[in-house]
């Protein structure tokens, strides 16, 4: 048997040295490439670590007591679902800027987003008169989202705000109906004359033809203004809000005749702020808006009925049907007046007319 020979070490040659040097360099390059990719991912437009979240400041039209229902649950849910990638700081009426300055403040980036109606925040669009309460355009809160989804208002609002630089319109939803709450009773149209009320612009303009005097004051000053006699009441909301924010404590009477069935409010964002947000978080914010719309639909619908029946703070009054029918008839002339603002405004009014006609023909339970 032959003895096995021991293996001799392989000597390095110029070729093997080159290969080893190449592998060393390749390893370094590969590691560097991985690092560069990771760094690139972190530097990407939507790559935000939990330690460095996107921060927004959003101001709502509402004061804190009402805001606890119309927006706070939404913002808290969004912040939780964003999981550290984004955080929205919520501010209430007039906390950062006056309500009538909201649009400009958002447009110039002082604040990142707004929840308000078009009219109250003085949006520079021809359709702003249809935000808030547009007389007799709706009877129920569900009417409004149907008008936006199926009667062209989504497209009209998107078109109008698409012409304004620096602002994104994100969507609209319905709030409560419009009633008048006052210190002295209103039992006829004549009783409206001279009454100074805090109210939204378009409905206030319409009601002024019956002698009502719309007054604009900071939201937090309203309760004291009614107590001191500076105001005679409010034409701003429904029963649920009046009880929630304390106005039912300083008003003695509630008028059952309502001017419209739902307040029209929207969400807006500064364009640059919106573009810094990833598509995922943009979609999450819109989903949280839908959740807020649903919350309000239920809260207001149940609250209005319950407080009309069980509320004890205000005495209910009503303007006779014959007189109120005249008010409803007068609104048709008012609609046509505002339709003349622009071709786009005319489209909005036509949508209201078309929808109203369908609802009347549909009958119960849509209309009675």
Q: How many CB atoms lie within 10 A of CB 286?
A: 13
Query: 255 near 232, Cβ under 8 Å?
Result: no
For residues 276 and 343, state if they share a domain: no
Q: What is the DSSP letter of 268?
A: E
End-to-end C-alpha distance for the chain, whole angstroms? 114
Same domain, 102 and 232: no
**CATH code at 219?**
3.40.190.170
Whether residues 167 and 116 share a domain: the answer is: yes
Q: Do 72 and 87 reside in the same domain of the chain?
A: yes
Residues 141 and 196 in one domain: no
The answer as to whether 9 is a domain residue is no
**Which has the closest alpha carbon to 140: 313, 364, 309?**
364
**Residues 272 and 344 grouped into a single domain:** no
Asked whether residue 220 falls in the same domain as residue 354, the answer is: yes
Give a yes or no: residue 18 inside a domain. Answer: no
In the chain, count of helices (H) and strands (E)? 13, 11
Task: Please give the full DSSP string across 142-189, using - where no structure is assigned.
Answer: THHHHHHHHSSHHHHHHHHHHTSTTEEEEEEEE-PPEEEEESS---SG
Number of domains in the chain: 2
Rounded to an integer, what distance in angstroms lies between the CA atom of residue 56 and that of residue 58? Answer: 6
| Residue numbers of the domain that contains 286 | 54-174+263-301
> Which residues lie below 8 Å from residue 187, measured CB to CB, with a gap of 6+?
317, 318, 319
Per-residue pLDDT tens digits for 278-321: 999 999 999 999 999 999 999 999 999 999 999 999 999 999 99
**pLDDT of res. 368:** 83
- pLDDT-derived band at 49 (thresholds 50, 70, 90) equals low
pLDDT at 50: 61
Task: Give the confidence band of 37 by pLDDT, cuts at 50, 70, 90.
Answer: very low
One domain for residues 214 and 226: yes
Q: Are residues 224 and 121 in the same domain?
A: no
* Phi, psi (rounded to 5 degrees) for 270: -65, 135
Per DSSP, the three-state class of 3 is: coil
- Regarding whether 353 and 224 lie in a shared domain, the answer is yes
Asked if the structure places residue 162 within a domain, the reply is yes
Do 108 and 243 lie in one domain? The reply is no
Q: Do 152 and 292 belong together in one domain?
A: yes
């Amino acid at each position: 048997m032959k003895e096995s020979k021991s293996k001799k070490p392989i000597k390095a040659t110029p070729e093997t040295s080159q290969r080893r040097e190449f592998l060393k360099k390749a390893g370094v390059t590969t590691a560097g490439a991985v690092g560069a990719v990771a760094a690139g991912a972190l530097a990407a437009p939507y790559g935000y670590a939990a330690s460095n979240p996107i921060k927004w400041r959003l101001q709502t039209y509402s004061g804190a007591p009402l805001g606890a229902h119309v927006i706070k649950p939404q913002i808290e849910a969004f912040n939780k679902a964003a999981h550290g990638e984004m955080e929205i700081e919520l501010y209430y009426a007039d906390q950062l800027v006056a309500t009538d300055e909201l649009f400009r403040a958002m447009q110039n980036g002082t604040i990142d987003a707004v929840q308000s109606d078009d009219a109250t925040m003085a949006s520079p669009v021809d359709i702003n008169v249809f935000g808030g309460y547009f007389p007799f355009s709706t009877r129920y809160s569900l009417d409004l989202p149907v008008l936006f989804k199926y009667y062209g208002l989504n497209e009209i609002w998107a078109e109008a705000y698409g012409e304004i630089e620096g602002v994104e319109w994100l969507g609209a939803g319905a709030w409560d109906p419009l009633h008048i709450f006052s210190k002295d009773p209103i039992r006829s149209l004549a009783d409206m004359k001279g009454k100074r009320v805090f109210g939204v612009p378009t409905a206030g303009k319409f009601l002024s033809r019956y002698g009502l005097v719309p007054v604009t004051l900071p939201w937090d000053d309203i309760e004291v203004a009614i107590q001191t006699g500076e105001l005679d009441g409010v034409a701003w909301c429904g029963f649920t809000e009046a009880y929630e924010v304390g106005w039912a404590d300083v008003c003695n009477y509630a008028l059952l005749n309502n001017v419209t069935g739902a307040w029209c409010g929207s969400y807006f964002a500064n364009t640059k702020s919106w573009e810094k947000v990833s598509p995922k978080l943009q979609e999450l914010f819109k989903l949280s808006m839908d959740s807020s719309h649903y919350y309000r639909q239920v809260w207001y619908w149940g609250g209005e009925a319950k407080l009309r029946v069980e509320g004890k703070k205000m005495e209910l009054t009503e303007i006779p049907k014959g007189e109120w029918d005249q008010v409803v008839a007068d609104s048709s002339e008012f609609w046509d007046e505002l339709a003349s603002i622009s071709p786009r405004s005319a489209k909005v009014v036509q949508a209201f007319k078309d929808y109203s006609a369908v609802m009347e023909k549909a009958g119960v339970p849509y209309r009675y």
